[in-house]
Amino acid sequence: MEARILVLDGNQRAALAAVRSLGAKGLWVAVGESCSPSMTGVSRYCRRSITYADPFTSPRQFFEDLLNQIDELNITFLLPITEASTYVILAYRDELPARVTLPFPETESVERLANKNNLFQLALQLGVPVPDTLFCENADEGLKALETIEHFPVVLKPFKSKILQPASIVSTQVVIAHSTQEASEALRNHEFFRFPFTLQSFVKGSGQGIFALFDHGEPVCFFAHRRLREKPPGGGVSVLCESAPVNDQLKSHAEKLLRKAGWHGVAMVEFRVAEDGTGYLMEVNPRFWGSLQLAVDSGIDFPWWLYLASTGQTVPQAGWQRRRVRWLLGDLDRLYLVLKSSPDTYSFGQKLIEILRFIKPGLRTRHEVNRWQDLRPFWFEVKQYLRALKG
């Protein structure tokens, strides 16, 4: 049977990287999104572009639409990119046609890692460092737990960033509180704290991620990168990043967790490395990450290798090369934030330096979205960008 792949969440940069990777191998790839057109849907590597209901507001209708498209297009491989679409599909995965390969382990294994409360308990069992943690089932438990906390800031971390409910998906956020009053107000004001969460000590340090591909519990490859610029500048989405050697300590921790969960597919394991070098576990995301294109450019072709591993084929052995990738419009946004910041944050001289760095991002830098052999996604992104500015 001919492979027919459906990649979801077509406005995500990771979706574009996946479609370019798989399409360049000659595979038939369709792209789905809740609106039309989408950034990835206009790529030269997309054979068909489809739409479906928004999984955030209509999760069941989203899945029904997906089933119809899977049947109509005779899809054999389904690749969701975001947590929202992933969690809905996993909830109803038993209804997928038998011919469809979904590159995830059993849903129970996903919950062991994607559910942060479960994850931190597993990490403690395995000896993987986590911040000092109190487990809470709801806001009332959190308010009682606050009475025992002496040192601030603390981090209030919902058990998931996206919580699937019967009629919608609830988006949550991590809250850093610098006092008992701040923490109490957050617990009372944010509706998502009616769900389980953790209270954790704040770890001062830098964020580092380990990106992995596993084949039914066995590691296939690991990858890491350095964030060179982020939006906003104080920390956020990477807009310029560079491939880097994998930290052995963090790799060991990630491998312990993923092996124990019998992981299959890709995962992003995030740590915060303290000043003493200890890597504290932050979360595990069971999906592709925004800077996926950097890994592909560096020789670690995660989308292609995931497809091979999930369809029983041999994954090639390959080493990584140092490469640098830039998300141009994200970097432009960052520069704007720098230039409009106060002199106390960035002096006039520092702003000039940032302009020069923007103009010359460095050797071996490739653009993530705008590529000469596939320019339409970039023009689509530019139009959306300009439309947002006007709005």
Task: Give the model confidence (pLDDT) of 337-388 as tens digits.
Answer: 999 999 999 999 999 999 999 999 887 899 999 999 999 999 999 999 999 9
Instruction: Answer left, alpha or beta for residue 112, where phi above 0 means left and psi between -120 and 50 means alpha.
Output: alpha
Return the structure tokens found at 42: 């206009």
Smallest CA-to-CA distance from 193 within 181, 202, 183 is with 183
Across the range 223-251, mean pLDDT stands at: 94
Distance CA 305, CA 1 (A): 19
Residue 1: pLDDT above 90? no
pLDDT of residue 209: 95
pLDDT confidence of 236, banded at 50, 70, 90? confident
Distance CA 286, CA 188 (A): 30
pLDDT confidence of 106, banded at 50, 70, 90? very high
Distance CA 148, CA 131 (A): 16
pLDDT of residue 317: 85
pLDDT of residue 364: 81
Bridge partners of residue 77, in order along the sequence = 5, 101
Query: 242: burial class by Cβ within 10 Å (0-12, 13-18, 19+)?
Result: buried
Are 120 and 133 contacting, i.e. CB atoms less than 8 angstroms apart? Answer: yes
pLDDT confidence of 234, banded at 50, 70, 90? confident
Between 390 and 117, whose confidence is greater? 117
**Helix spans in 247-360 (H):** 248-260, 292-297, 302-310, 328-339, 348-359
Distance CA 97, CA 149 (A): 50
pLDDT of residue 390: 84
pLDDT of residue 18: 98
Q: In what order do the strands lie in the sheet with 365-367?
A: 279-285, 265-274, 205-215, 218-231, 237-244, 324-326, 365-367
Across the range 307-321, mean pLDDT stands at: 93
CA 260-266-272 angle, 5° bins: 75
CA 38-41-47 angle, 5° bins: 160
Distance CA 71, CA 340 (A): 51
Are 317 and 298 contacting, i.e. CB atoms less than 8 angstroms apart? Answer: no
Residues of the chain above pLDDT 90, percent: 96
Residue 391: pLDDT above 90? no
**274-310 tens-digit pLDDT:** 999 999 999 999 999 999 999 999 999 999 999 999 9
The mean pLDDT of the chain is 96
Enter the pTM of the model. 0.95
- Domains recognised in the chain with CATH numbers: 4-102 (3.40.50.20), 105-122+204-391 (3.30.470.20), 132-201 (3.30.1490.20)
Residue 178: pLDDT above 80? yes
